[in-house]
Structure formats: C-alpha cells, structure tokens
Amino acid sequence: MTGFVSFVGSGPGDPELLTLKAVDRLRRADAVLFDDLSSGPILTHARPGADLVGVGKRAGRPSPRQDHVSRLLVDYAREGGRIVRLKSGDSGLFGRLEEELVALRDAGIEYEIIPGVPSAFAAAAACGIPLTRRLTARRVQFVTGHDASGALPGDLDLAALADPTACTVIFMGKRTFPALCTALTDRGLPADTPAILAEAVGTPEQQVTRSTVAELSASLSQDIGSKPALILYGPLAGI
C-alpha cells in the first residue's frame, strides 16, 4: 500500500503561527520533507524518530532540483506511512505546489493540502499595516521577483504593478528590485511611493525597514544581504 501525503503550510517561521491541523500532521508523520524556511523550531513538533529531510531552495545557494524533490516525495510515499511535505508560508503561493501534486497524481498517491499563514500577511502584521483600505486601496497584488533563471520575469504586467493605488507584495525580489523599480517609475509610479523591506519575518532575526521605492532600490543596489525578504509598496506601506 502507498502512503498518504499532507502538504502543510508552516507559515512564515514562527511555530506559534502553525495551525492545529499542521501540528497534528507533524506529530503523526513518519517522514517530513521540509523547506529551508520551515526548519528550526517548527520541526520540534515532528514525531521522535521521523525521517527529517531538507529539500529547500534558496536563491544563490546550491538547491535540489524540483524533479528530484518530486521524485523523493513519491519514493517516500510508496514506502507507506504518513508523509508531510512542509512548505513555508502557504504552499499554494509561489511554493511549486503544482509540480509535486502532479507527481503524486501520476503515481496514484493520495494527498491533502493544509493551508498556512501566507508570509505576505505575516509581513503586513509585523509592519503593523493592513493590505487594503476601504475606498482608496481596494486591490492587493502578489508577484514573484525572479523567474527560473533568477532574472526579473519578462512577462510582468508593469502597468498593473505601477498602479499607485494598489498594495503590491513582491516575493523573492531583492536582487531584481532595482531593475523593477526603474521599469515602474518609467511607467509613472512615483519615486517617493512608500516601501517596506520585511526580512526574516516570523523569526528572531526579523527586521522591518521603511523607505520609498527609490531609496530601497538604491539600498538593494549596494547590498541585498542574506535574509529572506518580502517587499511591500503602495499607499499603505507609509502608515
């Protein structure tokens, strides 16, 4: 008999933000395949004796290929038992969930998806701001800052991203933000649009830096640092 896979969203890194269902699946898992940002204290909830396998990806660092991760997940499930695929934030948001679901479906393995606190919402909470405002900031947009090669995606909707009334959250965008900022200001986004760099959200190393898109672009052109981060910009980033 094949095993059963639980895709568990671990939230931004703070173990207190895990859902009760996430903790239950970790406590019952025979193996946990975890992302880099889902390690640390979150793994203390895993059952003693469970296999803990790091399969995380970090920009600029050696990382396992996605097809290897999918194959490893299938192989563990075929051995039977309960498998947890632990992903940071919510697994459905820039988490390569679909590739792994396809691999399980092709292998005839059953699964469930357990939502987690998305890092964008955790970042907004850490900054003490909402992501919407009645009447004047009704739209929120999430975008990835790099493509598979690490470059700024060439198919971004720059007109939408330059909308000064929207709240925009950029995932994995520190390296490419200077180029993106130039493209956005060329399309009319004011250079003094409020911006926030939220680093290592939900961990003891959390740091929030408030500036403008132009100031943040200049700063990241000099040094991007090593912490995972989200970039938020728009009218609500200034409150």
State pLDDT tens for residues 112-157: 999 999 999 999 999 999 999 998 899 999 999 999 888 999 999 9
Provide mean pLDDT across the span 39-46: 94
Give 2's pLDDT tier (boundaries 50, 70, 90).
Answer: confident
Among the listed residues 139, 189, 147, 133, the one whose alpha carbon sits nearest the alpha carbon of residue 168: 139
Task: Indicate whether 41 pLDDT > 60.
Answer: yes
Q: Rounded distance, CA 115 to CA 106, Å?
A: 23
What is the per-residue pLDDT across 64-119, written as a single tens digit (0 to 9) for each?
889 999 999 999 999 999 999 999 999 999 999 999 999 999 999 999 999 999 99
Length of the chain: 239
Task: Indicate whether 51 pLDDT > 60.
Answer: yes
Q: Rounded distance, CA 162 to CA 98, Å?
A: 29
Q: Does residue 57 carry a catalytic annotation?
A: yes
Provide mean pLDDT across the span 38-62: 85
CB 70 within 8 A of CB 87: no
Mutual orientation of helices 97-106 and 66-78 as an angle, nearest 10°? Answer: 40
Q: List CB contacts of 40: < 8 A, sequence separation 6 or more.
A: 13, 203
Q: What is the pLDDT of residue 57?
A: 67
Task: Indicate whether 59 pLDDT > 70.
Answer: no
Q: Is 119-238 in the same CATH topology as 4-114?
A: no
Q: Rounded distance, CA 189 to CA 213, Å?
A: 9
Catalytic residue among 14, 35, 87, 90: 35
CB 31 within 8 A of CB 53: yes
Provide mean pLDDT across the span 43-65: 84
CB 28 within 8 A of CB 50: no
Task: Indicate whether 30 pLDDT > 80.
Answer: yes
Q: Where are the domains of the chain?
A: 4-114, 119-238
Give 58's pLDDT tier (boundaries 50, 70, 90).
Answer: low
Mean pLDDT for the chain overall: 94
Amino acid at 224: I
Tokens of residue 141, six digits: 């947009």
Provide mean pLDDT across the span 161-184: 97
Instruction: Report the SS3 class of residue 126.
Output: helix
Provide mean pLDDT across the span 31-42: 92
pTM of the model: 0.92
Task: Indicate whether 50 pLDDT > 90.
Answer: yes
Q: What is the pLDDT of residue 135?
A: 87
Give the HSE-up count for residue 182: Cα atoms under 13 Å, Cβ half-sphere: 7
Q: What is the pLDDT of residue 64?
A: 83
Give the HSE-up count for residue 111: Cα atoms under 13 Å, Cβ half-sphere: 27
Q: What is the pLDDT of residue 61?
A: 56
What is the per-residue pLDDT across 187-236, written as a single tens digit (0 to 9) for each?
999 999 999 999 999 999 999 999 999 999 999 999 999 999 999 999 99
Q: Rounded distance, CA 187 to CA 127, Å?
A: 27
Q: Rounded distance, CA 45 to CA 26, Å?
A: 6
Q: In CATH, which of 3.30.10.20, 2.60.40.10, 3.30.950.10, 2.30.130.10 is domain 119-238?
A: 3.30.950.10
Q: In CATH, which of 3.40.50.300, 3.40.50.10260, 3.40.1010.10, 3.40.50.1000 is domain 4-114?
A: 3.40.1010.10
Catalytic residue among 24, 36, 51, 57: 57
